Amino acid sequence: MTTSKLFDPYQLGPLTLPNRVVMAPLTRNRAVAGMVSNPLAAEYYGQRASAGLLITEASQVSQQGQGYHGTPGIYSSEQIAGWRKVTDAVHARGGRIFIQLWHVGRISHTSLQPDGAAPVAPSAIRANTKTFVDGKVIDVSEPRALERDEIPGIIDAFRRGAANARAAGFDGVEIHGANGYLLDQFAKDGTNKRTDSYGGSIENRARLMLEVASAVAGEIGADRTGIRISPVTPANDVSDSNPQPLFDHIVDGLNAEKLVFIHVVEGATGGPRDIAPFDYGSLRKRFSGAYIANNGYDLALANKVLDANEADLIAFGRPYISNPDLVERLKAGAPLNELDRATLYGGGAKGYTDYPTLVDA
């Protein structure tokens, strides 16, 4: 049996987590008609309820916020009811679960948008990346720049998403401010060429992310609101010329809002951790809430970072897809199930709810 701080309890706002393992958001593209969470999702998340905290797959706060086929939403009564089955299943197994609130911005396709409209972005710059529509990987569509008077509606969509999350029984929400999606697009100067109060200076580019954080925290409480950020990832063709002062400023603002955690993708999302120089310790020092470290963590790296007090919680992504009992496996030093990459996106139970536990084995 492995001894590690990873298995120590942690107090996250009003929630007592039994361990410091976080299941990171993992897009699985299995939503059913109406972008309602798949009925199998209750079993999928319930199987993983031994994590200290579960964070769901990214869920769009409006139809405009959708960028991929088969991703669930949190803006309709049917979607709320679908998610309630998930939260009930997780809570019945003693778990704690947040939903990730999402607006993809320009990482979308006209076929997914209301009335076939162009996706929206801070600036009309097409991303050099792909999306997933009707089982095919295709180029994203060219976006249009959001008008200044449309931005309050974006903020309110996140606020309503938080209210709906509460109605669905979630313990809290994580705002998706990472990986080249809308809030990240506004923050970074490679994608934001605006000349109004949401463009130009660091303060202006950070404004939307901080206004969304304030609105969501005002709706459900700062102690139930976290955010995910990715300072240097190139995911979805996003970049910034000087990310350190930008994210120091953003985290100062998030700290002022008293959010319960920042969830930081260290390096390139799903890729190298050392892609660019960045002082993550600066973010840790600036933030009084929990720091969730993410990207390429295994037990050894988790132990090293926790022992050095460089993080409070550790997020695991793809290992959670194929190992519903990841906490138990890490604690026992047991081997992990191999991931079936062919079943990552779309489909049914295969590669979703049929991975064996140690008990099954």
Res 167 pLDDT > 80: yes
* CA dihedral sign of residues 51, 326, 99, 92: negative
**pLDDT reported for residue 360:** 85
pLDDT band with cut points at 50, 70 and 90 for residue 5: very high
Q: Where are the alpha helices (DSSP H) in 108-201?
A: 151-167, 182-187
pLDDT band with cut points at 50, 70 and 90 for residue 134: confident
**pLDDT reported for residue 1:** 58
**pLDDT reported for residue 2:** 62
Give the whole-angstrom CA distance, residue 235 versus residue 179.
5
Maximum alpha-carbon separation in the chain? 59
pLDDT tens track for 293-332: 999 999 999 999 999 999 999 999 999 999 999 999 999 9
Question: What tokens were used for 346?
Answer: 């779309």
> In this structure, which amino acid lies at residue 316?
F
CATH number for domain 5-343, candidates 3.50.50.60, 3.40.190.10, 3.30.930.10, 3.20.20.70: 3.20.20.70
pLDDT tens track for 73-120: 999 999 999 999 999 999 999 999 999 999 999 999 999 999 999 999
Give the whole-angstrom CA distance, residue 351 versus residue 295.
22
> In this structure, which amino acid lies at residue 262?
I
Give the whole-angstrom CA distance, residue 92 versus residue 187.
39
pLDDT tens track for 181-221: 999 999 999 999 999 999 999 999 999 999 999 999 999 99
Res 70 pLDDT > 70: yes
Q: Which residues contact 33 (CB under 8 A, 6 or more apart)?
A: none
The domain ranges of the chain are: 5-343
Q: Catalytic positions, please?
A: 181
3-state helix, strand, coil in the chain (%, to 5): 35, 15, 45
DSSP-derived secondary structure for 237-295: G---S-HHHHHHHHHHHHHHTT-SEEEEE-SSTTS-TTSS---HHHHHHH-SSEEEEES
Q: What is this structure's pTM?
A: 0.98
> In this structure, which amino acid lies at residue 151?
I
